[in-house]
Chains A and B, each alone.
Chain A
């Protein structure tokens, strides 16, 4: 599939799918909810809890309203893709498996400088943290590599190893492109810009200028209330979905600049409480199942 200028964006994804599929991962499709990072996917958060082994890989669209730049910045997007791999328990050769995937997508580690640079990961909204690195390729961060220690405030036993590839950055690197919109999406002449620039323009306008904040505040309250409703009925998965929704609505409200510094902590705390409770309900179900 490789061409002289490196893999196209879609071939990059297909190559990773094939590689991780061969390693025994279930290849999932993106979760159908808006979220800020691939980690939020229940295939990572919920599956990282409890004793059962789990291996999965998937692409997840990520929405970060505050990072939108109306399609004008060559490196920043309000919507982009992460490639997420989770392996539980984390195998002893996880680093080697990961490096194998880089070779697969065309990065020669004797020509390029691959480095594991300390970067501890923490998600205040998920009550989660882990230790690991950001992986550098010639000085560019291409992957977040984490050994989960806690999720939803619960100890992870066994530990899940998580790899999060920044797909656009990786593709820009492989293709030698300085502007994300110039990426070859496929090898038939379609660029990333053809597919997504207009989305960036319109979504930036909506996120920063147009979104009805009253409606958003209302949605936040409703998602939180629905989460509680699910929890009362011991339905961990729908409860967790509502927590994801609340988290994304909060991100949108932040982009609109209507949440003050003081309120910010309170909102994060609220989302964390919901996510933790959903994680607790998930573990409870596992225990009684």
Chain B
């Protein structure tokens, strides 16, 4: 038994790719060894910008030896049969055994040396490794994420010989690029991490992450500040460094006039810095960067350099901000008529018009309650104005946020500014909800109207996302809305703008969009544990397009079908539906004739139906879905008894017809609550 160490050393591996590469390496290595029949202990993987490494514990020296016995032809068989057998086994006639007139070959397969198995495995892994993007270099044809320069492969203390396109394995690697660029010799898995550490490389990413997390916090604390935690930045910086050194720097407090989001974003995205807060929770004019060296001047030059880079970026940002503050949103909004939203859907100004109309309608109809219709319209008119600002030009991810700041700065009511600010999120106050919801519904309907709906994996206009967010908003805020009406409204707004008189297309497009919402609803509810078949069962009835009511109904239905009463009723329903399906013609529940001749179970079912049907309908009307389920539950006894004692397929045509009609009436009663044929199980 020995431990195996592999290090694949390359030029800098992108930070974002390292975690997956570690997992892939572990998986591919253990699969390859398992396939070769080499059992081993646990695997650990490591990565730095310049290396991807693996340690496998307790690798046996060789695979298990095996002996295989093959039965050949009879000794009396023709010569050709024997020749064929010798060819197949690779043996000579003398090596065969004659057992009672039959040739036998005994082939011993000695165990294969682990080193040989590992060498093959590593070659295959390098050849098949699935980097998100890989490249060639020099005049070779090998592909790797960046040029591959070295392979350390040690089984115990022995080198495993591997050569891949001119890169040969050995025991030698290099330390930190600047602190220790010369070669170092690794003894084996046991001293790998420590030898590297002595050469300014911390090979374990978890340790580097911890050093960054704790070091950045400490640096902030020492300056009397609080670090704004950002785990994504911790991981990214760990992927960019072999010897992380968090350093705190300060920037000119004058830049704090710029919206906080802009400062944090430019620090995080462009520079990979952490932001700091003061003890009141306000953004402090300081940053923590993570260097990759133990600098000879303790980092003074690095901090100064980073400060200047940040200052240049913030000065750019402040320039845009000051320019933007000079122009009122009314003026900016006028420019939207020059920006194409989509070539088939007009300009952004056209979109703003549609959204404003729909948002006002939501308030006027009392669908979104507690909002002032004029304020909603004002928010909608200004909502997209920040798209033409310099700030959003520089930081597109801050659309909305910048609009919110500008609205506040020009004295708009707080609710209007907040609505603009949160329009791309899920707002929780009415003006914002009206704006955000109508924006999404308009997007969905507009793209469907011009036949640019998402297909398969393609959704270039993020229409699915828009539907998902709409649903979340509707459900979270309990908005009672007829989707059909809202969709018709949005489509009509679009048609009016386009001078499109194809209003007849509504009949096709509206149900298409409703189905689309149904699909999104199923996806969205899956996580909450709501069954998609039950959503189908309620949607299938048609006429239910109020998502809040629909979900309440589905929830009650789910509770019901998961009880034994529900399960039994479902079984009975399926049986009834199957019988009816086999019969030609339609069976109409009104035609239950010949009451006097009914057997007791028929009469009992008929009477139970007479009571349950109206009860279920009334309960649904009152949105008391639990009561509707209870009404259905009352049918379970009578329908079970009916099936136990009554033969539907009676030779007497009148009886037969009556019983089929009874079943049809039962089916329809169930359908008042949900289309049980859509329910699985």
Contacts and interface: CB of A to CB of B under 8 A. Distances in A.
A185 B339 CA distance: 42
B312 A147 contact: no
Contacts of B319: 73
A130 B136 CA distance: 10
A137 B178 contact: no
9 contacts: A95-B11, A99-B177, A113-B293, A118-B12, A138-B305, A139-B309, A139-B310, A173-B308, A261-B339
Given A73-B319, A113-B291, A260-B340, A157 B139 contact: yes
B296 A111 contact: yes
B178 A149 contact: no
A146 B150 CA distance: 21
Contacts of A113: 291-293, 295, 302, 305
Greatest chain B CB density within 10 A among A90, A130, A139, A149 is at A139
A138 B302 contact: yes
Contacts of B147: 90, 92, 147
A110 B295 contact: yes
Interface in B267-283: 271, 273
A74 B313 CA distance: 11
Contacts of A115: 240, 292
A267 interface: no
B312 A138 contact: no
A37 B129 CA distance: 34
Contacts of A158: 138-139
Contacts of B12: 116-118, 133
B410 interface: no
A109 B305 contact: no
Interface of B: 11-12, 14-16, 49, 133, 135-139, 141, 145-147, 149, 177-179, 240, 271, 273, 289, 291-293, 295-297, 301-302, 304-306, 308-312, 315-316, 319, 339-340, 343
A261 B147 CA distance: 38
B306 A138 contact: yes
B302 A90 contact: no
Contacts of A108: 296
Nearest to B271: A139
Nearest to A91: B138
A229 interface: no
Contacts of B289: 139
Contact of A118 (B16, B271, B309, B340): B16
Nearest to A76: B316
A178 B343 contact: no
B302 A178 contact: no
A120 interface: yes
Question: Which of A74, A109, A111, A114 has most chain B Cβ within 10 Å?
Answer: A111
A173 B302 CA distance: 11
A147 B159 CA distance: 32
Contacts of B133: 120, 131
Contacts of A173: 305, 308
Nearest to A177: B308
B137 A137 contact: no
Interface residues of A, number: 41
Nearest to A119: B14
Of B137, B292, B310, B343, the most chain A CB neighbours within 10 A belong to: B137
Nearest to A113: B291
A159 B138 contact: yes
Given A109-B178, A111-B301, A131 B135 contact: yes
A73 B316 contact: yes
Nearest to B143: A149
Interface string A116-154: 111010000000001111000111100000010100000
A74 B315 contact: yes
Task: List 7 A-B pairs, minimum CB-CB distance, nearest first.
Answer: A138-B305, A118-B14, A158-B139, A116-B12, A139-B306, A113-B291, A89-B139
Contacts of B15: 118
Interface in A23-75: 73-75
B340 A90 contact: no
Contact of B308 (A91, A118, A178, A262): A178
A18 interface: no
A112 interface: yes
B135 A130 contact: yes
A108 B301 CA distance: 10
A159 B143 CA distance: 12
Contacts of A99: 177
B310 to A, nearest CB: 7
Contacts of A261: 339-340
Contacts of A76: 316
A110 B296 contact: yes
Nearest to A156: B136
Given A140-B309, A262-B340, 10 more contacts: A73-B319, A92-B147, A112-B305, A117-B240, A120-B133, A131-B145, A137-B305, A138-B305, A159-B139, A178-B308
Contact of B316 (A75, A92, A111, A260): A75
Contacts of B305: 112-113, 137-140, 173
B312 A75 contact: yes
A208 to B, nearest CB: 15
Contact of B137 (A90, A110, A178): A90
Q: Which of A73, A115, A149 has the most CB of B within 10 A?
A: A115
Nearest to B166: A92
B297 A111 contact: yes
A104 to B, nearest CB: 15
A112 B412 CA distance: 48
A110 B178 contact: yes
A195 B186 CA distance: 56
Contacts of A90: 137-138, 147
B240 A112 contact: no
A133 to B, nearest CB: 6
A62 B282 CA distance: 42
Contacts of B136: 147, 149, 157, 159
A161 B309 CA distance: 27
A149 B149 contact: no
Given A89-B138, A131-B146, A112 B302 contact: yes
Contacts of B137: 89-90, 147, 159, 161
B274 to A, nearest CB: 13
A91 B140 CA distance: 11
A145 to B, nearest CB: 9
A118 to B, nearest CB: 4
Contact of A116 (B49, B291, B339): B49
Nearest to B167: A92
A138 B296 contact: no
A263 B292 CA distance: 45
A116 B311 CA distance: 22
B288 to A, nearest CB: 12
Contacts of B139: 89, 157-159
Contacts of A74: 312, 315
Interface in A198-253: none
Q: Which of A110, A138, A159, A261 has the most CB of B within 10 A?
A: A138
Interface centre among B289, B302, B304 (most CB of A within 10 A): B302
A139 B299 CA distance: 13
Nearest to A72: B319
A128 to B, nearest CB: 13
Contacts of A137: 305
Contacts of B178: 109-110, 114
A181 to B, nearest CB: 14
A249 B215 CA distance: 51
Contacts of B316: 73, 75-76
Contacts of A130: 135
A92 B149 contact: yes
A161 B138 CA distance: 8
A112 B295 CA distance: 7
Contacts of A112: 295, 301-302, 305
A77 B11 CA distance: 33
A147 B11 CA distance: 12
A120 B305 CA distance: 25
A273 B135 CA distance: 24
